[in-house]
């Protein structure tokens, strides 16, 4: 038989007393509010993030809003019923309560739609309305929705200038673009750290301008794709999670055999990383998040036909169930002579993918649509037969 000792009885009585007190305070606040002349109440809404005027449209980029109700004397009004709605625009509003707490406050969260749901050339205006129920008293906040910013990540022996034509095209389509520059000879790990610092700095710079950004889309060429993969598959990335999509352009995902020839002309960390049997491909990627391709990031993969640096096999991401799209950029100029004299490293097809209008148009489309996610290899392994 269950017995209660004195200490248990005291605990239960104390617990019940606290519940009664809490309910009493709630009922008292509600009574005061119901009896109050609501026509004299004031309501104000503020962004908790900071003062923002623009929000990048993607669901992780949440906007936190605090709504406060006060009486005509400036005192907070607990127990006030508040209706919060999206009066204009797209997205979703979440609130834990429809009634102000003892501080007269109510917290809500606005969740933006996916980036592809808005038109880059015609940014969407969102208006959040907070209204005291059964009155005409309200406060509103408005901001602009824009697409996820694009960051260009260049390849080996290149700089951000290699993206000039693509940059001009995407800017004309309404996208905000940025380019990271790094010493491409210092290896994938070095460049990954540079990319990490760049994204963090740009996020802060946007915020100073009143633009709330949480994630970026990376468009990466050649070695830059390995840099993007390394960063987003590292443990460091779990702290930031600031990449929305990755679009790869002729990336040697399994290394480049031309790198072995390149070692005769360049002797640096990056050319060593690019060799197919380098530690980067033999062990490093396989020990990273999802074996080197983060399954939480949408991915697009484009390859230049007759690429002199990257084979189709190396450019593929079949093991993650990501389709490779092939574009004809230039004629096949691969010969034994230019292989032996090193002129193959000029790579007109490999670099030409960055100056091809059809490729530009496909990238534009990728930015405006939902892309595939890499298969989660751990789930595949654990899946029952």
How long, in residues, is the chain?
Answer: 385
Answer whether CATH 2.60.40.10 is correct for domain 38-146: yes
- pLDDT tens, position by position, 125-166: 999 999 999 899 999 999 999 999 999 999 998 999 999 999
The better pLDDT of the pair 49, 156 is held by 156
154, 221 contact by CB (below 8 A): yes
What DSSP string runs through 280-342? IIIIIGGGSGGGGS-TTSEEEEEEETT-SSS-HHHH-BGGGTBPEEEE--S-----HHHHHSS
Distance CA 196, CA 174 (A): 25
pLDDT at 12 over 60: no
Q: How far apart are the first and last CA of the chain?
A: 49
Among 8-17, 123-132, 241-250, 358-367, the minimum mean pLDDT is found in 8-17
- pLDDT tens, position by position, 310-333: 999 999 999 999 999 999 876 555
Among 105-119, 274-288, 300-314, 370-384, the minimum mean pLDDT is found in 370-384
Which contiguous run of DSSP H or E holds residue 33?
helix 6-35
Cα separations in angstroms, 230 against 202, 237, 292, 293, 325? 20, 9, 7, 8, 22
Domains of the chain, residue spans: 38-146, 150-375
Buried b (16+ CB within 10 A) or exposed e, 133-150: eeeebbbebebbbbbbbb
Place of tokens 């290149």: 158
Can you give the pLDDT at residue 339? Answer: 46
353: helix, coil or strand?
helix
What DSSP string runs through 258-284? HHHHHTTT--SHHHHHHSTTSHIIIII
Q: What CATH superfamily classification does 150-375 receive? A: Alpha/Beta hydrolase fold, catalytic domain (3.40.50.1820)
Distance CA 205, CA 199 (A): 10
Residue 121 has phi, psi (to 5 degrees) of: -85, -10
Q: What's the average model confidence in pLDDT over 245-264?
A: 88
* Averaged pLDDT of the chain: 87
pLDDT at 293 over 90: yes
Can you give the pLDDT at residue 205? Answer: 96
């Amino acid at each position: 038989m269950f017995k209660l000792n004195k200490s248990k009885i005291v605990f239960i009585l104390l617990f019940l007393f606290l519940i009664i007190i809490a309910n009493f305070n709630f009922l008292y606040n509600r009574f005061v509010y119901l009896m109050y002349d609501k026509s004299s109440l004031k309501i104000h809404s503020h962004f908790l993030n900071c003062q923002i005027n623009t929000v990048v449209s993607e669901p992780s980029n949440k906007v936190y809003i605090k709504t406060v109700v006060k009486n005509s004397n400036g005192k907070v009004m607990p127990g006030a019923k508040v209706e919060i709605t999206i009066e204009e625009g797209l997205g979703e509003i979440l609130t834990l309560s429809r009634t102000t707490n003892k501080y007269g406050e109510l917290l809500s969260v606005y969740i933006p739609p996916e980036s592809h749901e808005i038109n880059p050339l015609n940014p969407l205006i969102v208006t959040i309305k907070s209204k005291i129920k059964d009155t005409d008293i309200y406060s509103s906040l408005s901001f602009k929705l824009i697409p996820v910013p694009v960051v260009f990540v260049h390849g080996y022996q290149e700089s951000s200038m290699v993206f000039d034509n693509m940059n001009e095209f995407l800017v004309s389509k309404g996208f905000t673009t940025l380019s990271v520059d790094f010493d491409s000879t210092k290896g994938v790990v070095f460049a990954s750290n540079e990319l990490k610092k760049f994204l963090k700095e740009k996020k802060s710079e946007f915020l100073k301008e009143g633009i709330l950004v949480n994630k970026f889309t990376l468009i990466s060429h050649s070695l830059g794709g390995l840099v993007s993969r390394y960063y987003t598959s590292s443990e460091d990335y779990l702290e930031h999670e600031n990449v929305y999509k990755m679009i790869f352009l002729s990336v040697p995902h399994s290394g480049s055999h031309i790198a072995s020839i390149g070692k005769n002309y360049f002797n640096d960390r990056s050319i060593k990383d690019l060799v197919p049997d380098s530690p980067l491909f033999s062990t490093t990627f396989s020990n990273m998040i999802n074996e080197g391709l983060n399954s939480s990031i949408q991915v697009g993969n484009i390859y230049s036909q007759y690429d002199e640096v990257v084979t189709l096999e190396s450019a593929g991401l079949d093991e993650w169930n990501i389709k490779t799209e092939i574009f004809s950029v230039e004629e096949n100029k691969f010969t034994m002579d230019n292989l032996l004299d090193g002129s193959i490293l000029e790579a007109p097809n490999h670099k030409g993918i960055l100056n091809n209008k059809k490729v530009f148009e496909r990238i534009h489309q990728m930015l405006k649509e939902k892309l595939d996610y890499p298969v989660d290899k751990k789930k595949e392994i654990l899946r029952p037969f």
